[in-house]
Amino acid sequence: MLSYRHGFHAGNDADVLKHVVLVQLLLHLTKKETPLWVVDTHAGAGIYSLEHGYAARNAEFRNGIGRLWTRGDLPEPVARYVDEVRRVNPDGVLRNYPGSPQLALQLTRAQDRLRLFELHGNEGRALEAQFRDAGRRVAVVAGDGFAGLKAVLPPPSRRGLTLIDPSYETRDDYGAVVAAVTDGRVRFPTGCFAVWYPLLQRREAVRLPETLTRLAGDGDWLHATLQVRAPQDDGFGLHGSGMFVFNPPWKLDAALREALPVLSRLLAQDEHAAHTLRGRAR
């Protein structure tokens, strides 16, 4: 399970979808003065070099953020995300990619708090080094983010965003996501929970959004998918990804309706690229 290194995939199409949604969530949720707690169950290293190491080997970012980097015609939600990536590339050259923790740090305020979990030893040490000077705003926990949710939910301010984004390397991750969401929403029913998952030809991947929809019950939810190519004949490999958001903030759906058609066009790897957006708001 601990063989996974997100650096191989940093900045790819799945990261683009996840982080376009994350940036919009943070922009909306920080409009109120009350402190916001941001919890990331699988935080990774925080920031990734695209010139060296894991990300440079497969260069998956070239079909993700790389396709958006020099464009001047992006819709506002996508352009806002690219602007946040530019903050870790001040010379204008795409050299680094910010993971979810770094984006959260950039978009939160002095009164907000980040709680970052990472079980992988090397990733966790990189995460600690990245946020060593962040002060009391950030706490990095070397441990299981699924288990760690019990200690941080509900947050003292009763305002929070929980990002749940495991690697899904094993089938156990799917059940762990459902259990974490179920327990988390009991502990913190008004909290915003965002679940990232891969589009795979695997039964668990197909059933996960169906299960999450049932868990949402009568509450508000939003489910976005971005497919960039046809599923592979052998059934292996991602052909896209999805984000399922419980208690989404107002206007998130409008932002994604603007962003998703452009992303499916610009990130398409073949003629099977597509997107969906479904949900319910009262």
> What is d(CA 181, CA 187) in angstroms, rounded to the nearest whole number?
10
> What is d(CA 42, CA 115) in angstroms, rounded to the nearest whole number?
11
Is the Cβ–Cβ distance between 17 and 199 less than 8 Å?
no
Residues tagged active-site: 165
- What residues form DSSP beta bridges with 49? 96
* Contacts with 277 (C-beta within 8 Å, 6 or more apart), sequence order: 222, 223, 224, 225, 253, 256, 257, 260
> What is d(CA 94, CA 91) in angstroms, rounded to the nearest whole number?
8
> What is d(CA 69, CA 214) in angstroms, rounded to the nearest whole number?
38
* Contacts with 24 (C-beta within 8 Å, 6 or more apart), sequence order: 77, 80, 252, 255, 256
> What is d(CA 149, CA 183) in angstroms, rounded to the nearest whole number?
9
- What residues form DSSP beta bridges with 158? none
Is the Cβ–Cβ distance between 230 and 272 less than 8 Å?
yes
Q: What are phi and psi of 184, to 5 degrees?
A: -60, -40
Q: What are phi and psi of 17, to 5 degrees?
A: -60, -50
- Residue 154: asked if its preceding bond is cis (omega within 30°), the reply is yes
